[in-house]
Amino acid sequence: MSARTKARKRALDILYSADMRQISVPQALAVEAERAVNEPAREASWLYAREIVDGVVDNQAEIDELIETYAQGWTLKRMPAIDRALIRIGIWEIVFNDEVPDGVAISEAVEAATVLSTDDSAGFVNGLLAKISQVKA
């Protein structure tokens, strides 16, 4: 597993835990940052995970607007929490991170949805992120 894949997983854990525990993302990030200090071997994945989470937080209004616009028939509240987090990460990588090819961002999110979410989630995540990739400026 690549360092970026591990970082996406860490970012997913932070976003998901904040959602499920109903705490702010910065609070969840602070807990993970404290843990990361004691795990220097995981520093590479931690740095990109933090970049993802900060990017999602900084751009959450625009990210959520894209989700609401293109998730036909689905509201954010209706989506499984894991899917919300995966989609937010995918959108941040597609729209706000030029270092990651859109196809990689989509593939990583779909793979995570296949392993971690419902039977229908991978197709939903794929379709939504592909649409956003097509319409981005």
Question: According to the model, what pLDDT value does residue 137 have?
Answer: 59
Give the separation between CA 24 and CA 81, rounded to whole angstroms.
14
> Taking CA 94 as the corner, what is the angle to CA 69 and CA 103, rounded to the nearest 5 degrees?
115
If DSSP codes are grouped into helix, strand and coil, which group holds residue 75?
A: coil
Residue 40: predicted pLDDT? 73
Domain ranges of the chain: 3-135
CATH of 3-135, one of 2.60.40.420, 1.10.940.10, 3.40.80.10, 1.10.3720.10: 1.10.940.10
pLDDT value of residue 125: 96
| Positions in the chain short of pLDDT 50 | none
